[in-house]
Every structure is written in C-alpha cells, then in structure tokens.
Structure 1
C-alpha cells in the first residue's frame, strides 16, 4: 500500500519546528510514533527515512521531528551538545504534546524511536511522560541528570553495537540496569560486529525487532516481540 508523506510544523520556544509525517494512505487512527534522529540531523542520512518507511508500512504513523530547528542547526555541534540538550528536550516534549493533539491518530498509543542523541532525548522524555507506551533506544547514551526523579519508563527495546566507539556499549547495559531496577518490560540486543550505526544483516534484524516490539506494545499484536538475545 502507498505511503503518504506530509510536511507539517509546530512551534517550540518561538521557533517553527518541521515534522515529516509518514503513514499508509487511508489508515484510520493508527498508533503514533515520534522518531528522533541523531546528531547528524535529517539533511544527509537517508537511513532515517528508510527506517521510517518500514515502520509506517507496518501500520504506524511516523513523525520525523526536526528538533535541531530549535537551535537553527542542520547538525548538532558537539561543542554545544550538553548545553543544548535541555532545549532540544523541551522541543521533543512539545512534539509529543503536538502529536497528542492529532485527531487522526490513536493518542492512547504513542511511542518513540530515538537514535543516538535522539535516543538519549527519547529516554529523558519517556521517563517523565506517561503517554509514551513504548520506547526504542538505538545506540544512545544514558543521559545523566535528565531522567525524571519519579521516572517510570515504558516497555523499552535497547539496540547497540559492541564495537561502538562513539557511544560505548556500556551505555546499553546501564539503560538495561535502569529498566531492571524499575521492573520495566524490556529487550536488549547487542550486535557483536557493529559500531555506531548498523549495516547489512544487523540493520535488517534491528528493523524487524523494532516493528515486532512496537506491534506488540502499541498495536496489541498477539505475537511476542523477538527474543532479546545478545
């Protein structure tokens, strides 16, 4: 079935934030997924769009949030990454409020897919927002000091590469420990031959896991998510 792409905007901190919304045409009130890119932004890496299309084809409305519009960047500057984190987090929270106001989606079923920096933002946002029913954390750090004190994370899928030199795999295990501490349903998959970003069979496997995980926790599919082997 054809997938539609619609460009929209919302306002955060007085700035217009672009959103690209993908979903199967004619789909009625699907679950909504907020997708948060990494520090490289959305202007060069086509894999974000390819992944969004796979998730949309599985029956979700996917909203690619251009949160770097808040700081007027195409790529996040590593020199200002930490000082801008809270600003971007505010924009992510505004994006969730914007999605929750959409009448064409089922706002009781909202999920987040975060990649790298976006995964850290997604984890922080989901820790404070009970509207989030599922979280996918792609090779992101555990954002120290940004997790809500009274956090209760939703079911979470953690995906990481053992050879990641940018965000070491220890971060995946730290997120897993937090989820265990909170007794949150979760899965973790660490790919032994992958670095910061997945390629080949690992990328395909990860997308299959994402679709199965979101299908189980957002769409109520009877089939269990794929096993979280390491």
Structure 2
C-alpha cells in the first residue's frame, strides 16, 4: 500500500541519528529525530508498507520541530528490509519491532513519564493500533488512513485520533468508521477527521491541517510543552 504524504515541503533542519535494537536475532534500525535528552514526549512513527523513505523522514522532522522526540522504526528489517506478499502473516514479527521501538523510546532519558505516542501511516496504522492496545507505555495513537484487521482489537486503546480521506480507494473510509466505533464502545477519548476530497494520501493543504491536529492531539494527551 504505497501512500503519498505531501510533507516533503516541510523538511526542516532536524538531523536524524540511527539506533539499532535486536529483536528475535534481527537488527532493527530506529531513526531518531530530536534531542533525546530533552524532557519532551517521545513519538514512534510507523511508516507504510512502502518502507522508511524520505516522505516519512519529512514527517518526523516536522514533529521534532514541533517539540517531540521522534523514533521512526524500520519494522521491515524483520523481513529483510522489504515488503512481502504475506503481509498478514508477517504482522506478528513487524508488531514485535514496533513494540520494541516503543520500549526503546520510553527508555530514553527525555521521555516524559515514559509515555509514548504512536503514529501509523497506512499499513503502519494497523501496527500502530495493534501495538497501542498491548503496550502500557502508549499514551496516544494516531492512524493516518489505516485499518484494523477484524477481531484484532481486543484490549482497550489509549486516546485515538483517526485521519482519513473520503475518496480513499485503497483503504475505504469505512475502515476509519470501524475504528471509531471500536474506541467509542471502549469509552476511549477519540477524534476523527475525514477529508472529503482526499484519497489514500493527503495533498499539501490537507496534510498541513492534519499535522496541526496531530500535534495538538499529542500535546493534549502526552503533555508536550505548549507554545511550540
């Protein structure tokens, strides 16, 4: 599920540093954006199935500039660094990588209260939601045009923000509604924004609006400093 984010225009001067964690004998890269020694909340970015490309680094830099420490996990390292056709079968392995990244982010000296936000894009939204219900360190989750495999959300989610395009032909907007129904039944604080003209990926104007909502949402639920 390739997805196109228009945030390349947002690239700011926040350099990335690479960390490596080991999971089941596999070396998984985590790109870190921001200063981990700062007392600001940590955010794990889970890219789409197209891989950890520059469009996701642009998102990470924008979030870091907004006052977060951002950790982009290369979960495809669990399968040789590439997407496979057996995507559903690989969910457990990729989910381990995401959870490892969450624990890694929570362990950083700057993480406020060891609470971490998780942002998932497209297929990354699947992994973000699954990990968010499993890891107590997750204080907020954001799903960008993601979906939830049937019957996989069995535990309470943290506060959830859902962003989706009404004209998405890859992941229908009904998937966003289904996730909203889950969190509403759980009584979880939740917000949803459907962009009427967007497909599977947002244009520049929509992405700017979405980023504003994401940063505000994370600040409310993770305690990021205001005024950024």
Q: With the length of structure 1 as denominator, give the TM-score of the two structures.
A: 0.88
Q: Say which SS state the counterpart of residue 114 (structure 2) adopts.
A: strand
Q: How does 1:171-186 map to 2 (within 5 A)?
A: 171-186=175-190
Contact 1:27 1:59 (8 Å CA) reproduced: no
Which of the residues 38, 50, 59 maps onto 2:48? 38
Q: In the aligned structure 2, how far is the partner of 1:27 from the partner of 1:2?
A: 18
- The one of 124, 130, 154 equivalent to 1:118 is 124
Indicate yes or no: 2:196 matched with 1:195.
no
Q: Decide whether the 8 Å contact of 1:157 with 1:186 is kept in 2.
A: yes
Q: What is the alpha-carbon distance in structure 2 between the residues aligned to residue 83 and residue 21 of structure 1?
A: 28
Are 2:213 and 1:209 aligned?
yes
Q: Post-superposition shift, 1:216?
A: 1.2
Moved over 6 A (4+): none
In structure 2, C-alpha distance between the alignment counterparts of 1:215 and 1:22, rounded to whole Å = 17
Range with bigger deviation, 88-97 or 52-61: 88-97
TM-superposed deviation, 1:195:
0.6
Q: Which residue of 1 aligns with 2:3?
A: none
Is 1:109 paired with 2:79?
no
TM-score w.r.t. structure 2 length?
0.89
Tell me if structure 1 keeps the 8 A contact 2:165–2:199: yes
Q: Deviation at 1:55?
A: 0.8
Query: Which deviates the most, 104-113 or 163-172?
Result: 104-113
The DSSP-based 3-state class of the residue aligned with 1:159 is: strand
What does the per-residue CA deviation read over 1:130-171, in whole Å, with 9 as the maximum and x for residues that have no partner?
211111110001122332x3x111111100001111111100
In the alignment, the residues of structure 1 paired with residue 29 and residue 113 of structure 2 have an alpha-carbon distance, to the nearest angstrom, of 20
Structure 1 unaligned residues grouped into runs of 5+: 224-230
Contact 2:13 2:61 in 1 (8 A): no
In the aligned structure 1, how far is the partner of 2:196 from the partner of 2:211? 17
Task: Indicate the RMSD between aligned Cα atoms, in angstroms.
Answer: 1.9
Task: Confirm or deny: 8 A CA contact 2:29 2:74 kept in the other structure.
Answer: yes
Unpaired stretches in structure 2, ≥5 consecutive residues = 1-11
Spell out the pairing of 1:2-41 with structure 2 (5 A cutoff): 3-23=14-34, 25=35, 28-41=38-51
Match of 2:144 in 1: 138
Task: Kindly state the Cα deviation for residue 42 of structure 1 after the two structures are TM-superposed.
Answer: 1.3
Equivalenced residue count is 216
Asked whether 1:96 is paired with 2:102, we answer yes
What is the CA–CA distance in structure 1 between the aligned matches of 2:164 and 2:76, rounded to whole Å?
23
Cα distance between partner residues in 1 of 2:101 and 2:36: 23
C-alpha distance in 1 between matches for 2:30 and 2:40: 17
Q: Distance in 1 between matches of 2:152 and 2:74?
A: 20
CA offsets per residue over residues 172-215 of structure 1, 9 Å max, x none?
00000001101111110011111111112111111111111111
